[in-house]
Amino acid sequence: MAKIINHNIPRRISSRHKIESLKSRVNIVAYIMQSMQLDDSSFEVQKTNGDDEYRCLCPFHDETEGSFSIYEENQQYYCYGCGTFGDVLDFVEARQPNVNNVNEAMAFLESTNALAAGAIVAVTPRTRSQLGPVRSEQIEAWHCQLIDRSWLYERLITDETIDQYQLGYWPQKKAITIPFWTGNIGASPVNVVQMRSLAPDTKRKYFGLTGFYGTAMYNQFLFNANSDYLVVLFGTFDALLALQDGIPAVSPNGANQYHADWTEPLQKFKRIYVVPDLGNESELKAAQLFADKVGKTARVRQFPDGNWGKDFSDWRLDGRSADDFMDFLLSSEHDGSF
Ligand SMILES: [Zn+2]
């Protein structure tokens, strides 16, 4: 097959390293203040009583009292009025009319003399572990903005689950927000928030808040569950629905994600059932790799063939029960495969 070369595709300049390197040279507080003062010289950013929190009028919605917080420690902004949030590159992308993606945002920052002018104060680069957990106020604010729950209802997720897990909504990006609780649901620290875009034209269905994303296990608190077995599904909402049904189910946030820290807790279970989506070859391979890493107590189990769908949510939407799913998984113990 001939190689297709499209000269209209912008040159990809943004490796993760380049992004982090650029961001480490920009202090978001100084950047936002300086760029807003270009439009309005009276624009003020004020330090709050919080250790690292600054407040100003929101650049993204009309208001008279400042709801817009800038956190110097984690180099993020968040508006308690309209829910917009992000890092300095998100800010550039949202504010500059001709900037439409992270590459263009980086090019913009490099090209304005923002970096050279000295108005930008260098800050020490921080790793994600140094950021600390996502603020609980932020998770609550998203949760309060989840007005239309129909998308979740269509996936059989109940109000009780939505409220307990504090699922939320980020209006600006049209995305469901999914906190990854590390311990008690609704009360423990959250280091990762996954976003499920509901925008029909989205390129990425799942994404994360910059700085608060990486390899993570959804329902990881089940590592401490009092159960002989644990089920690994490849879908956040599949694992959520399964647990709502009483099945101890976790999900890595991506089929090819594995963290070495998971091995020891996973090996404490007598059985680990790794269940890839039906008919998904690459996920099947990822499931096998996952099981290999856990060791001999882990097995890949494929859903039965049929016209019902491909994953646990489809299984339930087809009118099948969680009990039938567990019967199917546990029956593998009798056929000698365990
Ligand atoms: Zn706002």
What is the tens place of the pLDDT at every residue in 150-178?
A: 999 999 999 999 999 999 998 877 899 99
CB 84, CB 177: distance < 8 Å: no
Q: Cα of 141 to ligand 1 centre, how many Å?
A: 12
List, in sequence order, the alpha helices (H) in 40-182: 88-95, 102-111, 128-131, 136-144, 150-153, 159-165
CB 251, CB 218: distance < 8 Å: yes
CB 291, CB 258: distance < 8 Å: no
Mean of the per-residue pLDDT values of the chain: 84
* Ranges of residues in the chain whose predicted pLDDT is under 50: 1-14, 116-130
Instruction: Quote the pLDDT of residue 131.
Output: 53
CA distance linking residue 197 with residue 194, whole number of Å: 10
Question: pTM here?
Answer: 0.66
Q: Are strands 249-252 and 46-47 parallel, antiparallel or unpaired?
A: unpaired
- Dihedral of alpha carbons 235, 241, 243, 245, sign: negative
Q: Cα of 172 to ligand 1 centre, how many Å?
A: 10
Q: Cα of 60 to ligand 1 centre, how many Å?
A: 5
Q: Cα of 57 to ligand 1 centre, how many Å?
A: 8
Instruction: Quote the pLDDT of residue 15.
Output: 63
Picking from 109, 40, 117, 122, the residue whose alpha carbon sits closest to that of residue 75 is 122
Q: Cα of 82 to ligand 1 centre, how many Å?
A: 4
Report angle CA 62, 66, 67 to the nearest 5 degrees.
85
Q: Cα of 282 to ligand 1 centre, how many Å?
A: 41
For each of the domains in the chain, give its residue range(s) and CATH number, in order of start: 20-117 (3.90.580.10), 136-331 (3.40.1360.10)
Instruction: Quote the pLDDT of residue 138.
Output: 81
Report angle CA 138, 143, 147 to the nearest 5 degrees.
140
